[in-house]
Chains A and B, each alone.
Chain A
Amino acid sequence: GESVGLHLPTLSVQEGDNSIINCAYSNSASDYFIWYKQESGKGPQFIIDIRSNMDKRQGQRVTVLLNKTVKHLSLQIAATQPGDSAVYFCAENVYGGSQGNLIFGKGTKLSVKP
């Protein structure tokens, strides 16, 4: 999920395969993380969150993994579907920072081939 300026990192997968989207965060004080999905022409939509006292959390077809040692977050989507095509953002909340304030990454574009 690192920024590459004008172009978003793109992940292209075949329908039915599993997808893994990665995000690196820089602030070791961050204690809450969210993954958002943004479809074309729409606002970001909440997918799943995780607190820093956990290293894994599962939802419906999605799993978020947190590795605090290397400050890395990943989103796994099982059996990827065409409707999963979107830009995915990770966001972090810094412990001790302003309540409610999230810092967003630049995003990764997921493209699902039928």
Chain B
Amino acid sequence: DAGVIQSPRHEVTEMGQEVTLRCKPISGHDYLFWYRQTMMRGLELLIYFNNNVPIDDSGMPEDRFSAKMPNASFSTLKIQPSEPRDSAVYFCASSFGQGRRYNEQFFGPGTRLTVL
């Protein structure tokens, strides 16, 4: 398996522009997580899905952020409009739940976003 795939790996954009980050989870995994990592705040959970359904989006900073999972093999995180304070590394992770109590999360390589 290729692992969790994220694209793009790097994104540089200007303030006010729309940014879309993409994730392909590991095949067969039923949980998908979006995280944001900064030096100041560390690794923060933004939202996670179970069987394509959003379960907890309490970590989404504000209405400018939205995430979708139209099918089991694809998810997007969108920021519109983007602001300089959104600059961070965004990670996608997936795991296999299926009733298991303890689920190891597998992380993608991340997307480094810079908003000028």
Contact for A106 among B42, B103, B108, CB less than 8 A: B42
Q: Looking at the complex, which of B13-21, B62-70, B77-85, B94-102 is the stretch in contact with chain A? A: B94-102
How long is the Cα–Cα vector from A98 to B102 in the complex, in angstroms?
11
Interface residues on A, range: 20 to 34
How long is the Cα–Cα vector from A16 to B43 in the complex, in angstroms?
30
Q: Taking CB as reference atom, which chain B residue is nearest A33? A: B102
Q: Taking CB as reference atom, which chain A residue is nearest B50? A: A100
Report yes or no: A44 in contact with B43, Cβ–Cβ below 8 A.
Answer: yes
Check B48 for interface membership: any CB of A closer than 8 A: yes
Check B110 for interface membership: any CB of A closer than 8 A: yes
Check B1 for interface membership: any CB of A closer than 8 A: no
Report yes or no: A89 in contact with B107, Cβ–Cβ below 8 A.
Answer: no
Interface of B toward A, CB cutoff 8 Å = 4, 31, 33, 39-40, 42-43, 45, 48, 50, 55-56, 91, 93, 95, 97, 101-110
Interface of A toward B, CB cutoff 8 Å = 3, 5-6, 32, 34, 36, 41-46, 49, 51, 89, 93, 98-107
Can you list 22 pairs linking A and B with CB atoms under 8 Å apart? A6-B40, A32-B101, A34-B105, A43-B110, A44-B91, A44-B107, A45-B107, A46-B106, A49-B102, A89-B43, A93-B102, A99-B50, A99-B103, A100-B95, A100-B97, A100-B103, A100-B105, A101-B45, A101-B48, A102-B105, A104-B45, A106-B42
